Amino acid sequence: MRNAYAVRRSVVNPYLVRERDRRRHRELVTLLAIVLSVGVCLLAYVWVHVELLSVGYRVADLEESLDKNRRRQSLLEVEVGHLSSPQRIEERAVTELHMRRPDLSEVIFEREIR
């Protein structure tokens, strides 16, 4: 049973040319531009946020270091005060360097030099 619907014929359309749909192309380009601009904005926001967090952590580290150095400075100032006390200097001069106070006869006054 062969009828007109059962016969298959090859379609030959050598003159058929597909034209581009300019309106659809324009819509795709605008959609791509919108998506790219939103993506760039989101990327910039995330980058700024990450940099802000990084700077915050760095500031916290520097403040901690500053506090540590201030404590160390105060300890060193106390130590300098202790080490430069006249009693301690005199004690070390006598014990370690074997120095003694001069007698009055060994002292040369400024008036005698001139």
Q: Domain map of the chain by residue range? A: 22-101
The residue among 99, 102, 82 whose CA lies nearest residue 90 is 99
What CA–CA distance (Å, rounded) separates 10 from 55? 71
The answer to whether 100 and 94 are in contact (CB under 8 A) is yes
Measure the CA dihedral 29/32/33/34, to 10°: 120
pLDDT at 112: 66
Tokens of 100: 């003694």
What CA–CA distance (Å, rounded) separates 17 from 87? 109
Series of mean pLDDT values for 10-residue runs along the chain (114 residues): 67 77 93 98 98 98 98 96 91 90 84 69
DSSP 8-class letter at 15:
T
